[in-house]
Structure 1
Amino acid sequence: MTGRNRIRFLRRGEVVELTVMAPMRTLLDYLRLEEASRGTKEGCGEGDCGACTVSLGSLKDGRLVYEPVNACILLLGQVDGKEVVTVDDLSQGGRLHPIQQAMVDSHGSQCGFCTPGFVMSLFALYQSGVAADRQVVVDQLAGNLCRCTGYRPIVEAALASCTGRPDDAWSKARGETEKTLAGLDDGSDLFIGDDNGFFAAPASDEALAQLTEKHPDAVLLSGATDVGLWITKQLRDIGKIIHLGRMRSLCRVAETADAVTLGAAVTYAEAERALGSIDPDLAELLRRIGSKQVRASGTVGGNIANGSPIGDTPPALIALGSELELRKGTVTRAVALEDFFIAYGKQDRAPGEIVASVRVPKLKRDEAFRCYKITKRFDQDISSVLAAFKFTLDGRRIASARIAYGGMAATPKRAAKTEAAVQNLSLDDAAGWNQAADCLSEDFQPIGDHRASADYRMQTARALFIKALTEISGEATRNTRVTGVRELVDAG
């Protein structure tokens, strides 16, 4: 593959170029071991604790946006064309950055190990220009864990400093930074290494097709929120990596009157507005996927392609009737999302074939949707059960249903017998709902694990089915939501 043989990124106002790079090299290892910028800490090594948080500046629709990312699982090659900002950079000329000064003033640091990550998450919020309230701050810091239990002063520091009026070296250099990053975006293909081992980031469909055809054994990398753990926790030797993040054809969000189409490399953060416009429950589901750091890197396409039975987005997208576009070379094919998952760890995807996009139908006027994520803790946790329901209504009659669960089988799966049982029932027939719910035991035989027992999963699946119908029926005698309360819809 012709093109560039070096990565280029902006660091402290200067463009850094690297021609030699191990494919699996993480950004954290580069910062600490090669650059000796050791303010960024290594904690969990799996993108959960946030101690390694740095900020990446990139152009989104021509505008500079700073986002927090977990440097421990982000591969160095992924920062090509971006600006890297770490806690070591913030104080300048002997003066602390406004975020750092607010942390000092509010006594927001305890043992100090996690503090750099908190500061960098808040740096991204500071640069966003959003006047933060408490909920915004809590969402921003959901991916930063402190074992000293000192969150109150940290939140106070955020409220005092993130006022929506950034005034620091980065805000003043915004125009120049945008110009530099635009210059780095040369549209060329990136390939570092040789046929035995490489990090590649193609920018064209032709280059991607050539690479996947020649190297069907290469790992396709999107956000590295999963692949990063293969490296840091499973210690896999991944010699060939094809990063999809520079493929403009895979980074598009397209909306029509009846659907939202997401390229496979669209991040959760980039998909949030479009998917959230379909239904409030989808917006809430996306808010609870990982953390700000995870959503800035992880992709909906990656969540689908890895085939996890507890992936958050597939059950909701299956319930909505979503369809995948798969591509191998120049040949494309469409497959219903529910048919993509064949068995545990096995998907309907040939060697060298990629998930190119997912098309998500919007709701029609006679359709009602509900989605619920059940976890041990509210923020940044893996689902024990994820349930999604779409009911097509004819007045008060349920004309048809699409019901999908995650965590209940070896793959995300529809509840076919339950769908048939609820069809033609009335939204006023609570006894009929309960009889239909009995069919869940025919649709699923869940296993027990450290997240939930089989019995808990079955009881929860049943309760969520009844909960969805209760809300859709307009029954408002009790509040069915603990958090993220939505207005109950009168389906009639």
Structure 2
Amino acid sequence: MIEFLLNGRIQKLDQADPNLSILEWLRTKMRLTGTKEGCASGDCGACTVITGTPDQNGNIHYEAINSCITLLASLHGKELLTVEAFHQEPGHPVQRSMMEQHGSQCGFCTPGIVMSLVALHANHASATPEDHKILQALSGNLCRCTGYRPIVDAGRQAMVQEWTPASSHPAAGLKGERSVAALSTISQGSVTLAAKPGGPRYDAPVSLCELHALRSRFPAARLVAGSTDLALEITQQLKTLDHLISVERVPELKDCYPDNGELVIGAAATYEAFRQPLSELWPAFDAMLERLGSLQIRNRGTLGGNIANASPIGDMPPPLIALGATLVLDGPDGERRLPMEAFFHGYKQTDIKPGEFIHSIRVPMPKPDQQLFIYKISKRLDDDISAVLGAFRLTLHEGIVSDCRLAFGGMAATPARARHAEAALHGARWDQAGVTAAAAALASDFTPLSDARASASYRLQVAGNLLQRALLASDPLNRDPLTVTDYA
């Protein structure tokens, strides 16, 4: 059985299809049709809802997510708010501002936009967020007919207004403790959900011991965390997944803490959860993570999922390879560690053995004279997949490259180091001549493919240009923001 709050009311489901998304359940079972399906892939934001998750301090953390690629069973112990929660007076400032600023035309995308801005309002109730925060909140919401200026204007207007609903309001949990009390009555133990005996099954353990037992008992089961990629097999490929084991409720896999000169990030930690501690150590991650999917995706997607997916254009592996990060794998024979670069054997092929799972990732902390550059090339600024991603960790001493690790995504069947380019740079001066030699050596490292995102020749040329970009960015006299910016 799973149990959760829906617009202020407890829902209990003892039988449901584990392949069912929140969106499909809302529209077909509950007839709450304000939440729309636009793409069924987490791209357009028309399906945006808000979830509230209890934290260790007894508070509830609210965030916008894509309901089209979030599985219903993941709601256990949480609160779910849909746009219907705001039918009851008083209306939310976001609703009024959208009307007054003419932020809607056809209206199909409007409920998702409202929910994204409501989530932003809930998390910035005591401050006025800058335009950057408003744009970030809307980065996963597409609108074909209105244009974004009136929507952003509505966000500016709404964020400075208070909202004080009565305790009986369906969304009162955004402003008070009612939801905390209601959710405290729900067991936070492990759950199992199935539509019928012998049918598709979903298990959500709450400890490593339980996870080990399930992996041993059901070796063919698929592991799932945020489901931002796995759910596409259901919504796009129309597959039925027979058995899913969720890792998102295992505390040890969600940790993020310093340990012996490394930052340890649990495999089930979401992008938004580890973004700040990682970016404080290596600032180059901050701009890159802001472009990894949308805020809705980052609220659900996990580091372990991005790595285990083994995509050659995944955004996290190249910078982790550049930093010399270590993967911690757990399984029947205990933990083992291996360098991140050794994890990928070929396209969608990894070093995971039967019964194993990614436990955590250990990222080295910066040493003196080390710099990290991360550059993502994509056709859209927000919510797009990389054509090429370059990550360069350099150690410079008096202008000489004493050590370097250069890693790329989108250049081969796996994320990989550019070892010939590294050799060209090692011991050379960090100047135009050194970078030119390293860029020329990339042709010996990679033979990229042409596809819908970029041609092979473009990929090879832009990879070299990113090294040039790092050189310009490292020059303290270069103040041109168009040159040193992290946006491509």
Summarize the alignment of residues 221-300 of structure 1 with structure 2, pairs less than 5 Å apart: 221-256=224-259, 258-300=261-303
- Measured at CA, do residues 475 and 216 of structure 1 come closer, stay the same or move farther in structure 2, by a change above 3 Å? farther
What is the distance in 1 between the residues matched to 2:8 and 2:475? 58
**One-letter identity of the residue aligned with 2:402:** A
Offset of residue 72 of structure 1: 0.6
- Helix, strand or coil at the partner of 1:411: coil
Alignment-derived partner of residue 420 in structure 1: 423
Summarize the alignment of residues 198-217 of structure 1 with structure 2, pairs less than 5 Å apart: 198-217=201-220
Question: Cα deviations across residues 437-491 of structure 1 (Å, max 9, x unaligned)?
Answer: 2110001000000000000000000000121123224351744537558xxxxxx
What is the distance in 2 between the residues matched to 1:38 and 1:479? 45
Offset of residue 216 of structure 1: 1.5
Conserved? CA contact 2:374–2:486, under 8 Å: no
- Helix, strand or coil at the partner of 1:72: helix
What is the distance in 2 between the residues matched to 1:274 and 1:477? 27
Residue number among 72, 83, 86 corresponding to 2:82 in the alignment: 86
**Unmatched segments (≥5 aa) in structure 1:** 1-5, 486-492
Alignment-derived partner of residue 188 in structure 1: 189
Q: TM-score, normalised by structure 1?
A: 0.93
1:463 aligns with 2:465: yes
Residue number among 96, 109, 116 corresponding to 2:111 in the alignment: 116
Offset of residue 259 of structure 1: 2.0
Residue number among 315, 319, 323 corresponding to 1:320 in the alignment: 323
Offset of residue 204 of structure 1: 1.5
**Unmatched segments (≥5 aa) in structure 2:** none
Offset of residue 366 of structure 1: 1.6
What is the distance in 2 between the residues matched to 1:477 and 1:206? 53
Alignment identity in percent? Answer: 41
**One-letter identity of the residue aligned with 1:64:** I
What is the distance in 2 between the residues matched to 1:133 and 1:474? 28
Q: TM-score, normalised by structure 2?
A: 0.94
- Helix, strand or coil at the partner of 1:116: helix
* Length, aligned pairs only: 477
- Helix, strand or coil at the partner of 1:440: helix
What is the distance in 1 between the residues matched to 2:164 and 2:350? 49
What is the distance in 1 between the residues matched to 2:275 and 2:385? 19
Offset of residue 167 of structure 1: 3.0
What is the distance in 2 between the residues matched to 1:116 and 1:82? 21
- Helix, strand or coil at the partner of 1:331: coil
1:77 aligns with 2:78: no
1:334 aligns with 2:337: yes
- Helix, strand or coil at the partner of 2:164: coil
What is the distance in 1 between the residues matched to 2:8 and 2:183? 11
**One-letter identity of the residue aligned with 2:201:** F
Residue number among 440, 452, 455 corresponding to 2:454 in the alignment: 452
Residue number among 311, 314, 321 corresponding to 2:314 in the alignment: 311
Offset of residue 166 of structure 1: 4.5
Residue number among 145, 151, 168 corresponding to 2:142 in the alignment: 145
What is the distance in 1 between the residues matched to 2:476 and 2:392? 16
Summarize the alignment of residues 44-193 of structure 1 with structure 2, pairs less than 5 Å apart: 44-62=39-57, 63-93=59-89, 95-129=90-124, 130-163=127-160, 165-168=162-165, 169=169, 170=172, 174-184=176-186, 186-193=187-194
Offset of residue 64 of structure 1: 1.5
What is the distance in 1 between the residues matched to 2:366 and 2:482? 22
Offset of residue 361 of structure 1: 1.0
Residue number among 13, 38, 58 corresponding to 1:43 in the alignment: 38
Question: Cα deviations across residues 145-200 of structure 1 (Å, max 9, x unaligned)?
Answer: 0000421111111111112754334257521212333442x342111235653111
Summarize the alignment of residues 22-33 of structure 1 with structure 2, pairs less than 5 Å apart: 22-33=17-28
What is the distance in 2 between the residues matched to 1:420 and 1:484? 25
- Helix, strand or coil at the partner of 1:277: helix
- Helix, strand or coil at the partner of 2:113: helix
What is the distance in 2 between the residues matched to 1:134 and 1:83? 28
- Measured at CA, do residues 166 and 365 of structure 1 come closer, stay the same or move farther in structure 2, by a change above 3 Å? farther
Cα RMSD after superposing both structures? 1.7
What is the distance in 2 between the residues matched to 1:426 and 1:164? 55
Summarize the alignment of residues 426-441 of structure 1 with structure 2, pairs less than 5 Å apart: 426-427=429-430, 429-441=431-443
What is the distance in 1 between the residues matched to 2:449 and 2:346? 15
> Which segment is superposed worse, 258-267 or 397-406?
258-267
What is the distance in 2 between the residues matched to 1:454 and 1:57? 44
Conserved? CA contact 2:473–2:483, under 8 Å: no
Conserved? CA contact 1:471–1:480, under 8 Å: no
- Measured at CA, do residues 211 and 171 of structure 1 come closer, stay the same or move farther in structure 2, by a change above 3 Å? closer
Question: Cα deviations across residues 86-135 of structure 1 (Å, max 9, x unaligned)?
Answer: 00111214x42221111111111110000000000011011112422211
Offset of residue 253 of structure 1: 1.0
Summarize the alignment of residues 385-400 of structure 1 with structure 2, pairs less than 5 Å apart: 385-400=388-403
**One-letter identity of the residue aligned with 1:24:** N
**One-letter identity of the residue aligned with 2:139:** A
**One-letter identity of the residue aligned with 2:164:** D
Conserved? CA contact 1:126–1:166, under 8 Å: no
What is the distance in 2 between the residues matched to 1:98 and 1:15? 26
